[in-house]
């Protein structure tokens, strides 16, 4: 399957149309952004690592019965996916307090959240992805009640699958962001699951192994991504 035309260039990926109107190619670039695109740097190998990481995770989720976008890994940096009609809200699940939750509520970083929380954020960099709720989604037509219920159900199912997968690799899945879209009317997992969009801490040391290394200038960003990939069994 070949790329036809560039449909959209995001902060980390470029989306291309293909000969099949139902399929797109996502190209993972080395661009790494933080603070809603305010800071952008090129990190060697990042596109390849995230593409293979995402393909591995999406395949695991598919095998566990989650509807995902993934069709085929095409190359180091490209994956063939179903063309989704994206829902413009991000779903965030948290098992421990970190990031914006700590800032917003003044709670301690690392506090265990039992049960895990579920939050919705509007995808809008200019507005810094504001938090929204179900009624905003309905009133503005971003998602219906049924669609929201499905997104929440799938987000928590994914939490069970991935918490276990990372736990077996000696890692804590602290939190993560998911994006869903519609494919032939069905809520389907899109975008990516990689260390760019989740927090992973080493169980024994609580070392940060995710994009916080970039956000906080800790260094060794891709080395940490590669270490996580190796531990869960991604072939790089
Ligand atoms: P951003 O738009 O946040 O800068 P990216 O650089 O990751 O993010 O760009 C990828 C874009 O492609 C995102 O806007 C995402 O919503 C969209 N996208 C991801 N997967 C799919 C898909 N399967 N079908 C259609 N669009 C998708
Ligand atoms: N996240 C993301 N994209 C966003 C916002 C958040 O991938 O636009 C991820 C982030 O990496 C973390 C989780 O969602 O794993 C929760 O992020 P948080 O709300 O704490 O925001 P942050 O302070 O990280 O921007």
The finding on whether 198 has its CB within 6 A of some atom of ligand 2 is: yes
Would you say the pTM of this structure is higher than 0.95?
yes
- Nearest atom within ligand 1 for CA of residue 82: 23
**Residue of 34, 100, 174 to test ligand 2 pocket, by largest number of atoms within 8 Å of CB:** 100
The 10s digit of each residue's pLDDT in 204-235 is 999 999 999 999 999 999 999 999 999 999 99
Tell me what pLDDT residue 142 has. 98
Tell me what pLDDT residue 37 has. 86
Of all protein residues, whose CA lies closest to atom 27 belonging to ligand 1?
Answer: 191
Rounded to the nearest whole angstrom, what is the distance from the C-alpha of residue 176 to the centroid of ligand 2? 7
The finding on whether 100 has its CB within 6 A of some atom of ligand 2 is: yes
The finding on whether 175 has its CB within 6 A of some atom of ligand 2 is: yes
* Confidence band, pLDDT 50/70/90 cuts, at residue 1: confident
Rounded to the nearest whole angstrom, what is the distance from the C-alpha of residue 179 to the centroid of ligand 1? 8
The 10s digit of each residue's pLDDT in 19-59 is 999 999 999 999 999 998 889 999 999 999 999 999 999 99
The finding on whether 24 has its CB within 6 A of some atom of ligand 1 is: yes
> Which burial class, exposed, middle or buried, applies to 145 when counting CB atoms under 10 A from its CB (0-12, 13-18, 19+)?
exposed
The finding on whether 69 has its CB within 6 A of some atom of ligand 1 is: yes
For residue 111, give Cα distances in angstroms to 10, 76, 200, 202.
33, 37, 14, 15
The 10s digit of each residue's pLDDT in 48-96 is 999 999 999 999 999 999 999 999 999 999 999 999 999 999 999 999 9
Neighbours of 34 (CB within 10 A): 17
């Amino acid at each position: 399957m070949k790329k036809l035309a560039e449909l959209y260039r995001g902060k980390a990926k470029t989306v291309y149309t293909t000969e099949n109107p139902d399929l797109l190619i996502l190209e993972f670039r080395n661009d790494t952004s933080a603070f809603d695109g305010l800071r952008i740097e090129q990190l060697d190998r990042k596109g390849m690592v995230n593409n293979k990481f995402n393909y591995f995770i999406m395949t695991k989720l598919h095998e566990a019965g989650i509807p995902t976008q993934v069709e085929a890994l095409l190359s180091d940096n490209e994956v063939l996916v179903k063309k989704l009609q994206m829902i413009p809200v991000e779903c965030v699940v948290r098992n421990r307090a970190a990031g914006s939750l700590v800032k917003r509520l003044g709670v301690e970083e690392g506090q265990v959240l039992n049960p895990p929380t579920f939050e919705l954020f509007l995808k809008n960099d200019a507005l810094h992805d504001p938090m929204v709720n179900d009624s905003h989604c309905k009133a503005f037509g971003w998602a219906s009640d049924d669609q929201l219920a499905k997104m929440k159900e799938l987000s928590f199912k994914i939490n069970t699958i991935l918490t276990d997968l990372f736990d077996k690799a000696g890692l804590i899945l602290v939190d993560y962001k998911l994006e869903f879209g519609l494919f032939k009317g069905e809520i389907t997992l899109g975008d990516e699951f990689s260390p760019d969009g989740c927090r992973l801490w080493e169980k024994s040391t609580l070392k940060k192994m995710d994009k916080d290394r970039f956000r906080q200038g800790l260094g060794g960003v891709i080395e940490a991504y590669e270490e996580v990939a190796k531990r869960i069994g991604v072939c790089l």
